[in-house]
């Protein structure tokens, strides 16, 4: 079991928060009959499903490398965020349908004061949990925790909008404000859902490291370039919490293997210092050998000598 297995405790916190807020928001809806609060309650159901998925994927991601998964299981986190993003989109459709029905057939809201108080309490719970999750997600580079935290933060702002709309309904008596705000909630949820799904797809497609991290790697390698030393085929990718860097370093052909090895060890050490937790692969080649230059491409057979 990986030392990242402790991240599952945050998933349990999220599950507890989702159960609590779902109960509170459902009670607020029953008290008031507000479709805006109903949209909030539906999103809490999605929060619960996302938290359960997060727990499952974090459990898998915590497993160490094995014969079938030599690079570990951290990519499982992308499935969690992808599923959560998809669930968010489903929730948005449900909210929009309920809002349109209420817009066409408005009805007066009831027990506004008590309902708003209950919903406010649920929002405070979500705010606290989301901040804890976001800090942990950034600290431990967990896309699962970050996606869950962003969803909870969206829920907080959604609740704030709903509460403001209900306050306006209470003051003005204009019942249509409630479903109109619910439609705005649905639109905001769609935006968040697409963002999470897009990030998950990027991870599954082996997206490169952020540009600033790639620049750091290039700067380190280029400090050692010159005097016959060159490099190419620099590639990076993100896999859940793990980062990978590979590069080919070309040195004069008359160097000893030991001298070349020392250079690569120095480069790898400096990259790992700049980007803690990164896995670095280096490949030593002779700068005078024409075949070395065929390795600039990912698929050598398509570009090099057949």
Joined tokens for residue 194: 């697409």
CA–CA separation, 280 and 283 (whole Å): 10
pLDDT one-digit tens code per residue, 8-60: 888 888 888 888 888 887 887 787 777 666 766 776 777 787 788 888 888 88
| Strand ranges of the sheet holding 230-239, from the earlier edge strand across to the other edge | 230-239, 242-251, 278-286
3-state helix, strand, coil in the chain (%, to 5): 70, 10, 20
Compute the distance between CA of residue 194 and CA of residue 213 in angstroms, rounded to an integer: 25
pTM: 0.61
Looking at residue 306, what is its pLDDT? 42
Question: In the chain, which residues fall in CATH 1.20.1510.10?
Answer: 3-204
Q: At what angle do helices 177-204 and 76-104 cross, to 10 degrees?
A: 160
Taking residues 108-115, what's their average pLDDT?
Answer: 60
Quote the pLDDT of residue 218: 94
Instruction: Mean pLDDT check: name the lowest of 3-7, 68-72, 80-84, 271-275.
Output: 3-7
221 within 8 A of 190, measured Cβ to Cβ:
no
Q: What percent of the chain has pLDDT over 90?
A: 21
pLDDT digits (tens, 9 = 90+) for 262-286: 999 999 999 999 998 899 999 999 9
> In Å, how far are 56, 143, 279, 287, 295 from 140, measured between CA atoms?
17, 9, 16, 39, 34
Cα 120 to Cα 63: distance, rounded to the nearest angstrom: 39
Which tens digit of pLDDT belongs to each residue from 164-215?
766 777 777 777 776 777 787 778 778 777 877 877 777 777 788 989 999 9
d(CA 139, CA 109): 44
Tell me which of 3.40.50.10090, 2.60.120.620, 3.40.50.1100, 3.30.70.1350 is the CATH number of domain 211-303. 3.30.70.1350
Helix (H, G, I), strand (E, B) or coil at 101: helix
Please list the residue range(s) of the chain that carry CATH number 3.30.70.1350.
211-303
Residue 112 pLDDT class (50, 70, 90 cuts) = low
Q: How high is the pLDDT of residue 213? A: 93
Q: Which of the two residues, 87 and 250, has the higher pLDDT score?
A: 250
Which CATH number applies to 3-204? 1.20.1510.10
Give me the pLDDT at residue 1, please: 43
Q: Per-residue pLDDT averaged across 145-157, rounded?
A: 77
Residue 151 near residue 199 (C-beta atoms within 8 A): no
Instruction: Work out the average pLDDT over 126-143.
Output: 85
At 305 the pLDDT is 46
User: What pLDDT is recorded for position 211?
Assistant: 93
Neighbour tally for 136: CB within 10 Å: 19
Apex CA 202: angle with CA 197 and CA 207, to 5°?
Answer: 165
- Supply the pLDDT for residue 142: 80
């Amino acid at each position: 079991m990986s030392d990242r297995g402790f991240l599952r405790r945050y998933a349990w916190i999220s599950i507890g928060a989702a159960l609590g807020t779902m109960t509170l928001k459902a009670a607020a809806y029953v008290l008031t009959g507000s479709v805006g609060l109903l949209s909030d309650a539906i999103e809490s159901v999605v929060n619960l499903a996302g938290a359960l998925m997060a727990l499952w994927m974090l459990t898998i991601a915590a497993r160490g490398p094995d014969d079938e998964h030599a690079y570990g299981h951290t990519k499982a986190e992308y499935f969690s965020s992808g599923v959560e993003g998809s669930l968010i989109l489903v929730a948005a459709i449900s909210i929009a349908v309920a809002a349109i029905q209420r817009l066409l057939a408005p009805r007066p809201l009831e027990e506004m004061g008590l309902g708003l108080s209950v919903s406010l309490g649920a929002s405070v719970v979500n705010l606290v949990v989301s901040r804890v999750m976001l800090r942990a997600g950034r600290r431990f580079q967990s896309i699962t925790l970050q996606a869950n935290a962003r969803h909870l933060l969206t829920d907080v702002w959604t609740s704030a909008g709903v509460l403001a709309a209900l306050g306006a309904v209470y003051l003005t008596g204009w019942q249509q404000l409630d479903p109109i705000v619910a439609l705005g909630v649905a639109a905001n949820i769609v935006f968040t859902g697409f963002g999470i799904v897009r990030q998950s797809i990027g991870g599954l497609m082996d997206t490169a490291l952020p540009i600033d991290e790639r620049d750091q790697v290039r700067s380190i390698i280029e400090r050692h370039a010159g005097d016959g030393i060159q490099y190419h085929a620099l590639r990076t990718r993100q896999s859940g919490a793990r980062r990978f860097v590979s590069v080919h370093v070309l040195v004069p052909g008359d160097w000893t293997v030991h001298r070349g090895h020392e250079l690569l060890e120095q480069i790898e050490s400096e990259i790992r210092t700049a980007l803690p937790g990164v896995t670095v692969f280096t490949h030593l080649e002779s700068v005078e050998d024409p075949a070395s230059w065929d390795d600039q491409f990912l698929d050598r057979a398509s570009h090099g000598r057949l």
